Amino acid sequence: MFVLVNLKAYPCDPVAVAEAAADVAGDTEATVAVAPQAADLARVADTGVTTYAQHVSPNGHGSHTGSTLAESVADNGAVGTLLNHSEARRKLADIDGSLDAAARADLDTVVCANNPEQVAAAAALGPDAVAVEPPELIGTGTPVSQADPDVVEDAVDAAAAVDPSVDVYCGAGISTGDDVVAAEELGASGVLLASGVAKADDPRTALEDLVAPLD
Amino acid sequence: MFVLVNLKAYPCDPVAVAEAAADVAGDTEATVAVAPQAADLARVADTGVTTYAQHVSPNGHGSHTGSTLAESVADNGAVGTLLNHSEARRKLADIDGSLDAAARADLDTVVCANNPEQVAAAAALGPDAVAVEPPELIGTGTPVSQADPDVVEDAVDAAAAVDPSVDVYCGAGISTGDDVVAAEELGASGVLLASGVAKADDPRTALEDLVAPLD
Amino acid sequence: MFVLVNLKAYPCDPVAVAEAAADVAGDTEATVAVAPQAADLARVADTGVTTYAQHVSPNGHGSHTGSTLAESVADNGAVGTLLNHSEARRKLADIDGSLDAAARADLDTVVCANNPEQVAAAAALGPDAVAVEPPELIGTGTPVSQADPDVVEDAVDAAAAVDPSVDVYCGAGISTGDDVVAAEELGASGVLLASGVAKADDPRTALEDLVAPLD
Amino acid sequence: MFVLVNLKAYPCDPVAVAEAAADVAGDTEATVAVAPQAADLARVADTGVTTYAQHVSPNGHGSHTGSTLAESVADNGAVGTLLNHSEARRKLADIDGSLDAAARADLDTVVCANNPEQVAAAAALGPDAVAVEPPELIGTGTPVSQADPDVVEDAVDAAAAVDPSVDVYCGAGISTGDDVVAAEELGASGVLLASGVAKADDPRTALEDLVAPLD
């Protein structure tokens, strides 16, 4: 399983979460990755954890003030990036462009989507993975695998019909090891989570609990 | 064949073009449609021509100042809408939402895209048709069917692989009957054109020439 | 006083509201205007009511699919336009561009803003009027003149300091004649309202009540 | 004078430029600042140079994936930020929100604008500085102080009329010490430049030439 902890713009210590994630990742078969704010990427990557950007822009080098250049993100230690998160929805043409930008910078890509139709659309653009996150469940604490298991299975089927090489992750409401196991049983090969770890009193324990049933 | 004349924000008389299109449509097997500015929809539809909106918003009824409500567009005579034109690129989630909005208002839908990958993505969202328009050819007068025939064939294949019920149109540089025939031979079941008719000295003659080889 | 009824994307009959507004306008010193969806502009203007667009785009004539061209809006009977409504926030440079576009098409302009600082910024761009609408009060039924009278007075002062020729309107929660009088006493020379009329069982009576204390 | 080198998304070595800028800054009365990609902020700030972000988002801490949090930028060494650069135009309400966010994180602010009207609007929002950069001159090598001196003087006057405490910088085409002197003589208290240094064969020499006439 791939477990991605999205730190969003939370008031957590990104390095402390990253160190905990790096430690926990050493003791499990699962890959545990952390996606901090762009400005925190270098410090997070220095911990040795698998580091993702939260977004990269579709542009390449050039006159693009305020963009998040894929090459810059990679130079600072990121090995992958989220794209089109529900809090950072992008134009279809720009998702396509950002996938090209990520490919040039050798970044793995996870394109988020609201529902199975959008998952299929995202899969058609050729990312490494797609993630289905029903917006109405994000941050609720109710896992999508429990609130709406069909949406996960439908997303897995939808992506497979378009391109079987694209992994499917699921997000929204994931906070326990049981949620991760449930996601796996529904066909997901990864999970996205955020507040369950980033806002936990003890992120290390939260991560240990999360990956415990996976080994 | 489906022939859609997009009036964009051109300084033409939308009613005069619509009347010419309605006349020409009566003498051909092809469907000839006109897509004017939203404010001109009612006057264009009054000519009897098949009328398309240039865009509809993803929202339904409610507090959405400045939106282009699908129901309002339909109430004023539109029977279909373009979506995600290269001059009006939209978020993936909003294209999906606009397709739902169009379905509620009984509008046919044509989602535009830059390349075969985006055509496949658009087809996965379930529109009536997708249109491939390489941005670099728009307005050039060089038809895509001649400058880059592969992109049309690849778009036809890409859409068919995702959903064979989705029609594929092509645009960019179409201005003559030969261009339309070439598009048809490459597998397209419709064409989008704009300046070739809207900016012609005599739109009626331009349209007649366009559909002449189709009958 | 200037009273603008913004129909947003409400499920009302725009022509019925416009006819009521035209009638009421004939019996009062106040100017009563209606801002419908762009596609409804021509039918609303046909009632003889003062007709506003909800938005116009910064572009002029040209290749701008899906834009709302100021000239097209004017050709269909609009004499003014809202800009930058809180449901249609725009870039600073585009508000400036839309004001230029509106000037070319001879449209009066009302730029909306959240607070006195943004009112001052909007006034610096040279519109005919600015409107202060605290977003948290929109649609609440609690008038800004009652919930936050300081914001109206501060907006009036802020606009006057930048350009005394710019009128100041206020919106958010306006639904009765008392609200309009209160706005006038705070220095506003107009009001924006929406659901109080557009969603009223009897828009005509709602409008009559609204303007009754003004004469 | 304040001299800000905007690295945009150029393929330069941000640390090398920052080291050169830090050295040159030590030998001049002018403040020399560098604005790199967000992911490069920490490494640039480590050189000791005055470090600016290219943009910060209007949001505070919270669920804002893909945002550029002001606090995160400050934690990584930035002491200021550009806002609303012509390559990153923002909504009026978001510029206002980003100024609040920057204030919370103790960042100095420079709001860019196209023309004197937008400069006045930006000044009304209370930034530390505004910068006038006619878009048609950016990257041309022809300095605004030479191509269009009136726009600089008008911007200085426009900002002063709204808020005399707001500094005015100018940008677009600045590449030599003479350009900086000309800007100063027109009333600007700072300059923005980009390619003139970032794409120079020898950024250090370019910077030395730039500040030489200032001492």
pLDDT band (50, 70, 90) for residue A174: confident
The pLDDT of residue C147 is 81
**Overall average pLDDT of the C160-177 stretch:** 92
Of all residues in chain A, the percent with pLDDT exceeding 70 is 99
The pLDDT of residue B92 is 98
On whether B41 is known to bind a ligand per the annotation, the reply is no
Contact residues, chain C, for D112 at CB < 8 Å: none
Among chain A residues, the shortest Cα distance to B94 is held by A91
The pLDDT of residue D161 is 96
The answer, yes or no, to whether B and A have at least 3 beta-carbon pairs within 8 Å is yes
pLDDT band (50, 70, 90) for residue C199: confident
pLDDT beyond 90 at D172:
no
pLDDT tens digits, residue range A114-139?
Answer: 999 999 999 999 999 999 988 877 76
Comparing C-alpha atoms, which of C21, C78, C35, C24 is closest to residue C212?
A: C24
Separation of alpha carbons B3 and D150, rounded Å:
50
The alpha carbon of residue C182 is apart from the nearest alpha carbon of chain D, in Å, by 26
**Overall average pLDDT of the C84-95 stretch:** 96
Contact residues, chain C, for B79 at CB < 8 Å: none
The verdict on a CB contact (< 8 Å) between B124 and A162 is yes
The alpha carbon of residue B8 is apart from the nearest alpha carbon of chain C, in Å, by 4
The verdict on a CB contact (< 8 Å) between C96 and D84 is no
pLDDT beyond 90 at D91:
yes
CB distance D19 to D51 below 8 Å:
no
pLDDT tens digits, residue range C42-77?
Answer: 999 999 999 999 999 999 999 999 999 999 999 999
The alpha carbon of residue D54 is apart from the nearest alpha carbon of chain C, in Å, by 17
Among chain A residues, the shortest Cα distance to D82 is held by A66
- Total structural domains within chain D: 1
pLDDT tens digits, residue range B91-150?
Answer: 999 999 999 999 999 999 999 999 999 999 999 999 999 999 887 777 677 887 788 888
Separation of alpha carbons B207 and B34, rounded Å:
11
Separation of alpha carbons D180 and A46, rounded Å:
40
- Interface confidence (ipTM) of the complex: 0.95
pLDDT tens digits, residue range A23-60?
Answer: 999 888 889 999 999 999 999 999 999 999 999 999 99
Interface with C, mutate which of D87, D89, D92, D119 (most C CBs under 10 A) = D92
Interface with B, mutate which of C41, C54, C65 (most B CBs under 10 A) = C65
Among chain D residues, the shortest Cα distance to A65 is held by D8
The pLDDT of residue C55 is 98
Query: What's the start-to-end Cα distance of chain D, in Å?
Result: 10
Q: Taken in order A105, A110, A111, A112, is the CA torsion positive or negative?
A: negative
Contact residues, chain C, for D95 at CB < 8 Å: 92
The alpha carbon of residue A134 is apart from the nearest alpha carbon of chain D, in Å, by 15
Residue B102 backbone dihedrals phi, psi, to 5 degrees: -65, -40
Separation of alpha carbons C206 and D8, rounded Å:
54
CATH of the domain at A131: 3.20.20.70
The residue range of the domain holding A185 is 2-214
The verdict on a CB contact (< 8 Å) between B11 and C85 is no
Residues of chain B with pLDDT under 50: none
Q: Which residue has the higher pLDDT, C178 or D58?
A: D58
pLDDT beyond 90 at D156:
yes
pLDDT band (50, 70, 90) for residue D138: confident
pLDDT beyond 90 at D55:
yes
The pLDDT of residue D195 is 86
Contact residues, chain B, for A95 at CB < 8 Å: 92
> How many interface pairs between B and C have CB atoms less than 8 angstroms apart?
136
Q: Is A61 part of the annotated catalytic residue set?
A: no
Nearest to A88 among D43, D66, D76 (CB): D66
Contact residues, chain A, for B90 at CB < 8 Å: 91-92
Say what the alpha-carbon torsion angle B140, B144, B146, B150 is, to the nearest 10 degrees.
150
The verdict on a CB contact (< 8 Å) between D9 and A54 is no
CB distance D80 to D169 below 8 Å:
no
Q: Which residue has the higher pLDDT, D193 or B136?
A: D193
- B195: amino acid identity, one letter: S
pLDDT tens digits, residue range D36-53?
Answer: 999 999 999 999 999 999
Contact residues, chain C, for B9 at CB < 8 Å: 57, 59-65, 67, 69, 72
Comparing C-alpha atoms, which of B92, D122, A211, A187 is closest to residue C120?
A: D122
Separation of alpha carbons D146 and D152, rounded Å:
10
**For chain C, which chains pass the contact test of at least 3 CB pairs under 8 Å?**
B, D
pLDDT tens digits, residue range A155-165?
Answer: 999 999 999 99
On whether B195 is known to bind a ligand per the annotation, the reply is yes
**SS3 sequence, chain B?**
CEEEEECCECCCCHHHHHHHHHHHHHCCCCEEEEECCHHHHHHHHCCCCEEEECCCCCCCCECCCCCCCHHHHHHCCCCEEEECCCCCCCEHHHHHHHHHHHHHCCCEEEEEECCHHHHHHHHHCCCCEEEECCHHHCCCCCCHHHHCHHHHHHHHHHHHHHCCCCEEEECCCCCCHHHHHHHHHCCCCEEEECHHHHCCCCHHHHHHHHHHHHC
Residues of D with CB under 8 A from a CB of C: 84, 86, 89-96, 113-115, 117-118, 120-126, 158, 162
Interface with D, mutate which of A52, A64, A65 (most D CBs under 10 A) = A65
CB distance C57 to C93 below 8 Å:
no
On whether C194 is known to bind a ligand per the annotation, the reply is yes
**pTM (predicted TM-score):** 0.96
Comparing C-alpha atoms, which of C63, C62, C68, A93 is closest to residue B112?
A: A93
The pLDDT of residue C214 is 82
Among chain C residues, the shortest Cα distance to B59 is held by C9
Give the DSSP H/E element, type plus range, for residue D75: helix D70-75
